[in-house]
A and B are shown apart, each in its own frame.
Chain A
């Protein structure tokens, strides 16, 4: 398993231009393109608590501020707190025979902090109505929010009224007859209404805060009394409770545990999911898992001869076919400059396509009412605005080693899980180029390649080579739907191998 967690020696180029090991890549079946976590759209599927594994609906999670209602973490070391039972005898000695009452308190098994340390009384229920701390300024701040909302609403309304007035030229019927509000007031003998319309029903401004010229001075005890470090909290502990930010340990309160999420990933260009987990928090399975590891042949380095600058060395790599379909592997020369020209072309396309999509969007909005019956593919996803495809970047990798591209191609047999138990030996009947294929077994093949590090390569520098691998990708989606033969595509992947450091001449 070291190759998964260890250094990434074999890297595949994602469509977006980033190099990643195959375990970090996805393959969109609909676009037949490689995707990675950088170039897909992440979405939140479900919320759950990591301790009690309870699935929490998003509306409830929002209400509880993305925290679990029942689980707590230690305010001192951030580990999960566990609930402990303490039996408490009755206070009255005469009733000593009665069953002791169960009381609960919270304890951290790691740092031994407990809710009793800060004087929180033991609770009689397991979930416990553990006391919450209120923000002392909450009332004042709520008042401010309400008045700000009112002020902004009033000014918005005022602005809208103004626009309305501009539109309606003929103000009212009374204007034509000459009986205006001002004229009526005059006739009735009332003083003219001088208040500005803005001032009428104007929301009240909040009371401004008063500044004080007396400031809190340092207590004199700070200069004389020794400091007990155990009582003063560290910055991490303070920031765990952002509202209070307590400075001394006696103000530590248990903190509700932050919820975790399950994520689904969506391809940006075709809006299909490339990964979707099951809802159940206990399940580690997926509903949709289009991992590149299941589709694209995996390459591992088996052996490489010592690498010397300018000298050719033999490299043996293993190809594994993860699919149920036979595939043919062909090698091509990797040219990064060529890549760039493709990229720039695509960039221009992206810029155009974006404008087009904006235009389409507008058009669609206009046309939808009249042409509602026309089913457009994107109208299925009406709630989602189409994603923007981020332009692919240039691959950042300097190749300092040439690789001899073999002219012949070879076949990789489909994966057969039962082959391991088959003792009948290799019964395949494939005419292999003996120069290329060193050995093969079931869906694996060991391939011999020749690499030549550049002449000007200094000693002990990392040798990197790259090639383009073309494999046949068999698309099974359409065949299932339309009962057709599975479609086959030639799919090209750029592969980069880090072969190790170069050594001196012998």
Chain B
């Protein structure tokens, strides 16, 4: 590394948000990720793409992450990782195995100097400059709701359901195979493209009509979707409108996206409830579909009239619109936090990590003693 490089005033550090489907990668102080890549690596043994979240064991994950971080640094960041800081944006509910293996890879294998771990639900508010909000993250594997009150995530009120991109793809697969004979195993990438190009979240009254045996409304036009160059598949209007319905249909436990938000609200101090409902922030790639926000509002209003939630006494529901695309909202927060001095003040350094031989975590009692 040339000597002048280290002397330049604006140091760029890598910000990473490793999602279940896509990884957002970029640098601090920039307002959009440099690239959004699939969280997959080519397995050297089987020569197939493997998702890094589909790991079998910690050792397996270690190898996957070594390959994946290598691709990020040497194909996209073009930066030698040795002795550089890194900012990791992750969910508060990130599995311990994953966090610890990632730290091991970054510190042992890549010998990075510092690791600054930020909770995604909290940092996404940085781009809005607000300190209290109901943050709803609808990602690929799951939807997680965590209220943030005065810059503190109320973790005890967390709600999570396996409602996300994966569930939508599975739903779409069943809907498509029932309406098209002979189409069985569509690859996930095709399903994803059908989802983003054809489907949308419909209005509540239309959803109710389409769900009934004899709908009284005309469905939206069908789409002929090309498959593999030569064949076609019909994506019917009903499929287009119903693909996202599972997010709003209550399951056997009477839980869905709207009840998650309200259940989280029930766990919060009653003085904060109205404030939180007036500041709903939606993040994650799955919320980018047209009509998502409008439908969620409709659903929330309907649920509030229910007996279950009538004691909440919520008068208004308001949503924030982010100054970025929702799928990289958490990344942007990390980039904003990383641009400040906090990076040097609050990071976990390699020396501390080797000395203590553990990664600080909010569930660890040791960290919580200091707050009291």
Residues of A within 8 A of B (CB): 38, 41-44, 47, 58-59, 61-62, 65-66, 135, 137-138, 140-141, 144-145, 148-149, 151-153, 156, 205-209, 211-213, 215-218, 222-227, 229, 232-235, 238-239, 242-243, 245, 258-259, 261, 263, 354, 358, 383-385, 387-388, 390
Q: What are 24 contact pairs spanning A and B, CB under 8 A?
A: A41-B82, A42-B80, A59-B5, A66-B34, A137-B323, A145-B29, A145-B339, A148-B336, A208-B129, A209-B128, A213-B317, A215-B297, A223-B220, A227-B197, A229-B198, A235-B189, A242-B24, A242-B32, A242-B33, A242-B34, A383-B3, A385-B83, A387-B82, A390-B109
Measured between alpha carbons, how far is A140 from B12 in the docked complex, in Å? Answer: 21
Q: Which residues of B contact A144 (CB under 8 A)?
A: 126-127, 129, 336
The reply to whether the CB of B316 lies closer than 8 angstroms to some CB of chain A is yes
Contact (A43, B80) CB under 8 Å given A144-B126, A216-B293, A218-B291: yes
Nearest-neighbour CB distance to chain A for B36, whole angstroms, equals: 4
Measured between alpha carbons, how far is A239 from B354 in the docked complex, in Å? Answer: 38
Measured between alpha carbons, how far is A209 from B127 in the docked complex, in Å? Answer: 9
CB nearest neighbor in A for B201: A218
The reply to whether the CB of B312 lies closer than 8 angstroms to some CB of chain A is no
B318 touches A218 (CB 8 A): no
CB nearest neighbor in B for A141: B31
Task: Scan residues 1-30 of chain B and give those whose CB is less than 8 A from a CB of chain A.
Answer: 1-5, 8, 12, 22, 24, 29
Q: Which residues of A contact B325 (CB under 8 A)?
A: 242-243, 245
Tell which of B193, B226, B293, B342 touches A215, judged by Cβ atoms closer than 8 Å.
Answer: B293
Measured between alpha carbons, how far is A490 from B77 in the docked complex, in Å? Answer: 42
Q: Which residues of B contact A259 (CB under 8 A)?
A: 78
CB nearest neighbor in A for B24: A242
B220 touches A222 (CB 8 A): yes
A66 touches B31 (CB 8 A): no
B36 touches A239 (CB 8 A): yes
Sort chain B's interface into a size bin: 35 or more
Measured between alpha carbons, how far is A128 from B5 in the docked complex, in Å? Answer: 30
The reply to whether the CB of B203 lies closer than 8 angstroms to some CB of chain A is yes
Nearest-neighbour CB distance to chain A for B123, whole angstroms, equals: 11
Q: Which residues of B contact A388 (CB under 8 A)?
A: 108, 111
Nearest-neighbour CB distance to chain B for A282, whole angstroms, equals: 19
A141 touches B323 (CB 8 A): yes
Tell which of B12, B31, B318 touches A212, judged by Cβ atoms closer than 8 Å.
Answer: B318
Nearest-neighbour CB distance to chain B for A365, whole angstroms, equals: 13
Known: A235-B189, A243-B31. 4 other contacts (CB 8 A): A152-B341, A211-B278, A215-B294, A387-B82
The reply to whether the CB of B166 lies closer than 8 angstroms to some CB of chain A is no
Q: Which residues of A contact B290 (CB under 8 A)?
A: 218, 222
Task: Scan residues 242-280 of chain B and give those whose CB is less than 8 A from a CB of chain A.
Answer: 278-280
Measured between alpha carbons, how far is A141 from B328 in the docked complex, in Å? Answer: 14
Tell which of B2, B34, B83, B319 touches A65, judged by Cβ atoms closer than 8 Å.
Answer: B34
Nearest-neighbour CB distance to chain A for B222, whole angstroms, equals: 8
Q: Which residues of B contact A222 (CB under 8 A)?
A: 200, 220, 290
Nearest-neighbour CB distance to chain B for A273, whole angstroms, equals: 13
Nearest-neighbour CB distance to chain B for A214, whole angstroms, equals: 9
The reply to whether the CB of B202 lies closer than 8 angstroms to some CB of chain A is yes
A61 touches B220 (CB 8 A): no
A42 touches B74 (CB 8 A): yes
A211 touches B319 (CB 8 A): yes
The reply to whether the CB of B35 lies closer than 8 angstroms to some CB of chain A is yes
A44 touches B320 (CB 8 A): no
A235 touches B111 (CB 8 A): no
Measured between alpha carbons, how far is A59 from B12 in the docked complex, in Å? Answer: 12
CB nearest neighbor in B for A219: B290
Nearest-neighbour CB distance to chain A for B357, whole angstroms, equals: 11
Q: Which residues of B contact A211 (CB under 8 A)?
A: 278-280, 318-320
Task: Scan residues 174-198 of chain B and give those whose CB is less than 8 A from a CB of chain A.
Answer: 189, 192-193, 196-198
Tell which of A140, A149, A207, A217 touches B323, judged by Cβ atoms closer than 8 Å.
Answer: A140
Q: Which residues of B contact A47 (CB under 8 A)?
A: 78
Tell which of A135, A217, A235 touches B193, judged by Cβ atoms closer than 8 Å.
Answer: A235
The reply to whether the CB of B369 lies closer than 8 angstroms to some CB of chain A is no
Interface centre among A44, A62, A216, A239 (most CB of B within 10 A): A239
Q: Which residues of A contact B80 (CB under 8 A)?
A: 42-44
Tell which of B31, B196, B203 touches A235, judged by Cβ atoms closer than 8 Å.
Answer: B196
B197 touches A234 (CB 8 A): yes
Q: Which residues of B contact A42 (CB under 8 A)?
A: 70, 74, 80
Q: Which residues of A contact B200 (CB under 8 A)?
A: 218, 222
The reply to whether the CB of B228 lies closer than 8 angstroms to some CB of chain A is no
Q: Which residues of A contact B288 (CB under 8 A)?
A: 245
Q: Which residues of A contact B220 (CB under 8 A)?
A: 222-224
B8 touches A59 (CB 8 A): yes
A261 touches B34 (CB 8 A): no
Contact (A218, B74) CB under 8 Å given A66-B34, A211-B318, A242-B34: no
